[in-house]
Amino acid sequence: MPNIEIDLNPVDFITIGTVGPKGQRVFHLQAAKADQLVTLIIEKEQAGALSDALRELIDDLDSRIPPKVRDRLPTNMDLRDPVEPLFRVAQMGLGYDEEHDMVVLIAQELIPLSEESDPESAEDIKPGVVRMWCSRSQMRALSEHSSSTVKQGRPDPKQNGRLVYYWT
């Protein structure tokens, strides 16, 4: 399998959205630069954790380093078609380039290993990586939108689609 490595520097668009009904939603992280649209599958917990981490990072940056440019928050945070995932994300990381005042979100591919897989040959498999370079306002909008998207699910996610009986 070829090693996927994509650098969207800078992104024109970044969002998190879902496809499917409550209880069966699939979360997607999507970013674009010019005509290159990249869609990745993430877990609901990853979306929530990313929202929290971004809010904390941007608040910290704003308090220590005044933004060079104050651009408007993006308003259209809908997923764009086609929603064709490149891979499922195993882990994400955040970084900051002070010289360019850009935040980078790095998503690394989950490499599923079957029981028959040789662990030694798995070391040769390099996971795909997507780097998404964004302004602070894009990341603040992503944080707010992601938090809102996570909260739009079932009122009690522990139910996980099960029927609950109540007696009075």
* Per-residue model confidence (pLDDT) at position 79: 95
- Residue 106: per-residue pLDDT: 97
Q: Is the peptide bond before 82 cis (omega within 30 degrees of 0)?
A: yes
Q: Hey, how many other C-beta atoms are within 10 angstroms of the C-beta on 98?
A: 10
CATH match of 5-112+121-153 with 1.10.150:
no
Q: What is the pLDDT of residue 75?
A: 76
Contact 15, 77 (CB under 8 A): yes
CB contact set of 146 (below 8 Å; sequence gap of 6+):
16, 47, 48, 50, 51, 54
Q: Which residues of the chain have pLDDT under 70?
A: 1-2, 114-123, 154-168
- The Cα-based distances of 7 to 64, 65, 92, 160 in angstroms read 27, 25, 14, 36
What number of H helices and E strands is found in the chain? 3, 7
Give the ranges where the chain is alpha helix by DSSP (H): 44-64, 119-122, 136-151
Would you state the pLDDT for residue 117?
60
For tokens 């998404």, what's the residue? 132
